Amino acid sequence: MKRVMAIAVLCLMITVSAEGTGKKKKKKKDEAKKKDAVPVLKDAIEILKKANDAAGAVKTVSYDFNFLPTGSNTLKVPQVDGKMVIGGLSSDGLPSPMLADLTTRRVGAQIARHYLLCNDTKKYVMLDHFTKKITEGTDKKAYTFGIHALKHVIMVEYLYPQPFRDEINGDKAKLEGTETVGGVECYKIAVTYKGGAGKSIWWFGKEDFLPRRVDRLEDGGKAGPATRSLKLSNVVVDPELSDDVFTLEAPDDYRKGTVGGGRGIG
C-alpha cells in the first residue's frame, strides 16, 4: 500500500512539474511574440511618411490588380483585372519597361476582352486576344485604345521618389482604423487634398507600409458621386526578372493592327 501511495505521489509531482514547465514555455513564447509584434501606429501623417519612404525606395514591382468603378463611373469606365510588372518610369509618365496583362469588362457586356501591353523602352506592343491583332510602335501610341484601361491599373506611387508628398501636405489626413486588403492587414487613411483637389482613401500594409489599395473619390457633378477603386494583391518589390519578360511575340494567326485605330476598350 505504501508503495502504491509513493508511486501516486511521484506521478503527481511529475505532472505538476510538467505543467509548470509548460506554463514557463508558454510565458516565454508569449513574451517573444510581444517583443516581435509590430507596433500599432495612431498618427495618420506618421503612417503617410513611412509609406512615402517605403514606396519611394521601390525600383521594380509586380502585382495583381482589380480596378472597380462605382457610382456614375459604372457605365462609362470598365472594370479591369490582371497583373502588372513595372521596371521603371518613362518621360511620358507611364511605366517603362512594363508588362500588363489586362482583362476588361463593361457593365452589361457579355464578353470580357483580354489584352497584353508591353514595352522594353524601345519597342511598344499590344496583343488584342479578342480581335487577334498585334500593334507595334516606338511609343505609347502602339497601345491604341488599350492605354485607357492601362491608366486605371498603374499604381503610380510606386514610380516616384516622393510619392505621398501631396497626401502628407494635404488639408486633412485621418486614420480610419485597419482593414485587410489582398490578405494583408492595412492602415486605412482618408485624405483631403489641398485647394479642393479632391479626396481619396488609402490602405497601407501595417508591416511594410506599401500601398495596397486606393479609392479616388469624385464629385461627378450632375451625374452624382463616383469612385475609382484600385486594389492590389501579391505585391512583390524588386522581383527577379528574366531578360525577356518585357518582350512579346504574337501567335502566327494574329494580324497587324493599326496604330491609333480601334474603338474604346472593353
SS3 266: coil
Lowest mean pLDDT among 117-121, 197-201, 258-262: 258-262
Q: Please tell me the pTM assigned to this model.
A: 0.82
Q: What are the backbone angles phi and psi of residue 245, rounded to the nearest 5°?
A: -65, -30
Give the whole-angstrom CA distance, residue 159 versus residue 95: 8
Q: How high is the pLDDT of residue 20?
A: 55
Q: What's the whole-number mean pLDDT along residues 101-105?
A: 94
pLDDT digits (tens, 9 = 90+) for 135-161: 999 999 999 888 889 999 999 999 999
Give the whole-angstrom CA distance, residue 82 versus residue 67: 9
Only one residue has cell 511575340, namely 249
Is 45-256 a domain of CATH 3.40.50.170?
no
Q: What's the whole-number mean pLDDT along residues 81-109?
A: 90
Q: Domain residue spans in the chain?
A: 45-256
Kindly list the distances between the CA atom of residue 113 and the CA atoms of 62, 69, 76, 132, 221, in Å, as whole numbers in the listed order: 22, 17, 16, 11, 30
pLDDT digits (tens, 9 = 90+) for 32-49: 454 456 678 999 999 999
Give the whole-angstrom CA distance, residue 247 versus residue 258: 19
pLDDT surpasses 90 at 199: yes
Name which of 229, 147, 173 is nearest 52 in CA terms: 173
Name which of 208, 258, 231, 175 is nearest 53 in CA terms: 208
Q: How high is the pLDDT of residue 44?
A: 97
pLDDT surpasses 70 at 232: yes
SS3 24: helix
Say how many Å lie between the first and final Cα of the chain, rounded: 88
**Residues linked to residue 102 through DSSP beta bridges, in sequence order:** 82, 115
CA 76 to chain centre: 23
Q: How high is the pLDDT of residue 260?
A: 58
Q: What are the backbone angles phi and psi of residue 151, rounded to the nearest 5°?
A: -60, -25
